[in-house]
Amino acid sequence: MLDLALNVSLKKMTTYHIGGEAKSFVLSNSQAELTAALKWCDGNLFPWFLIGYGSNILVADEGFPGLVIKLAGEFTSIEFDDNSRVISIGAAVMLPKLANECAKRGISGFEGLCGIPGTVGAAVRINAGTKEGEVKDLFVSADILDEQGNVRTLSSNDMGFGHRTSLLMQNRWIVLRSRFSYGLETESAKIFAQMLSHRASRKAKQPSNPKNCGSVFKPANGRAAGWYIEQCGLKGRRIGDAMIATEHANWIVNLGAASASDVKLLIRLAQDVVKERFGVLLEREVEYVPEDLIGVSSNEL
């Protein structure tokens, strides 16, 4: 029996603090519970969506017309195998927590993850990263649940990693657990010092307003998207309570009461102005929910 909550607000489940209600919501603490939730959706022709930390999505003002699933319980475990030098990580583990646990053990290579607000499962799906490196650099394999309810193990070669993309973005497969390799070990104090430096560097370049989704657009033609937007004089441009950040032009912040519609109009404005001036169409990195979900039509709202 699923322990469903009805008409749950999604605003506080996203870093944008934007979005309507989920028709229903459930926490899945195990693979068995997750499978049961998906079977229930399939049997009732009910759309579903898996939410992590909500840091790379924009939820529609109308909300989500089906079941929102959040992983917990066994999906939050981290296991170190010093013989194989591989870390096995549940999909719901937060990236900063993973970086901290590695630092405590003197394991280097994960410092760059300390400032990324997201879960391991989502990070694998989009190949998250920074200038210091991406998920694919450490990735060994992942156990995923496919549409038929089968568990598959995908290697790095299977994943089709690219800039902020992977094979998983082309289907509705769910990351259950991932394995990363680790090599060099050093003093914990040195790693923590590097992490502090990473966080300070990110903070200096990012908007002070935390209500954002991170980078809105992907790089284009070898240039950062923010460069194009800044050259077009769009820093500080505002629609409703959504504003292109003055600190970084590839970030849009919620000044307090922004709607998803405000953000979408501002995104479209940036795309149109950049296209007109440079002939470049900026591709979104932020995902629209439910519009961008495979198998879920926006007309279901």
Sign of the C-alpha dihedral computed for residues 143, 148, 150 and 152 taken in this order: negative
**What number is the average pLDDT over the span 245-250?**
97
Kindly indicate the confidence band of residue 55, based on its pLDDT and cuts at 50, 70 and 90. very high
Distance between CA atoms of residues 13 and 25, nearest Å: 11
**What number is the average pLDDT over the span 286-292?**
96
Distance between CA atoms of residues 252 and 63, nearest Å: 20
If one compares 301 and 286, the residue with the highest pLDDT of the two is: 286
**What number is the average pLDDT over the span 174-190?**
91
Instruction: List the catalytic residue out of 33, 74, 134, 285.
Output: 285
**What number is the average pLDDT over the span 261-286?**
98
Kindly indicate the confidence band of residue 163, based on its pLDDT and cuts at 50, 70 and 90. confident
Instruction: List the catalytic residue out of 24, 108, 215, 259.
Output: 215
**What number is the average pLDDT over the span 158-174?**
93
Q: Which pLDDT does position 42 carry in this prediction?
A: 93
Our answer to whether residue 223 is catalytic in this structure is: no
Q: What percent of the chain has pLDDT over 90?
A: 87
Our answer to whether residue 111 is catalytic in this structure is: no
Our answer to whether residue 132 is catalytic in this structure is: no
Q: What is the mean pLDDT of the chain?
A: 94
Torsion of CA 185, 188, 192, 198, to 10 degrees: -10
Q: Is the pLDDT of residue 131 over 70?
A: yes
pLDDT digits (tens, 9 = 90+) for 28-50: 999 999 999 999 999 999 999 99
Q: Which pLDDT does position 295 carry in this prediction?
A: 64
Q: Which two tokens stand for residue 217?
A: 């657009």
pLDDT digits (tens, 9 = 90+) for 63-87: 999 999 999 999 999 999 999 999 9
Q: Which pLDDT does position 296 carry in this prediction?
A: 55
**What number is the average pLDDT over the span 150-164?**
95
Q: Is the pLDDT of residue 179 over 90?
A: yes
Distance between CA atoms of residues 208 and 73, nearest Å: 32
Q: Which pLDDT does position 190 carry in this prediction?
A: 92
Instruction: List the catalytic residue out of 164, 177, 179, 237.
Output: 164
Amino acid in position 211 = K
Entry pTM:
0.93
Q: Is the pLDDT of residue 298 over 60?
A: no
Given the DSSP bridges, would you call strands 64-71 and 21-28 parallel, antiparallel or unpaired? parallel
Q: Which pLDDT does position 300 carry in this prediction?
A: 33
Q: Which pLDDT does position 202 carry in this prediction?
A: 84
Q: Is the pLDDT of residue 299 over 60?
A: no
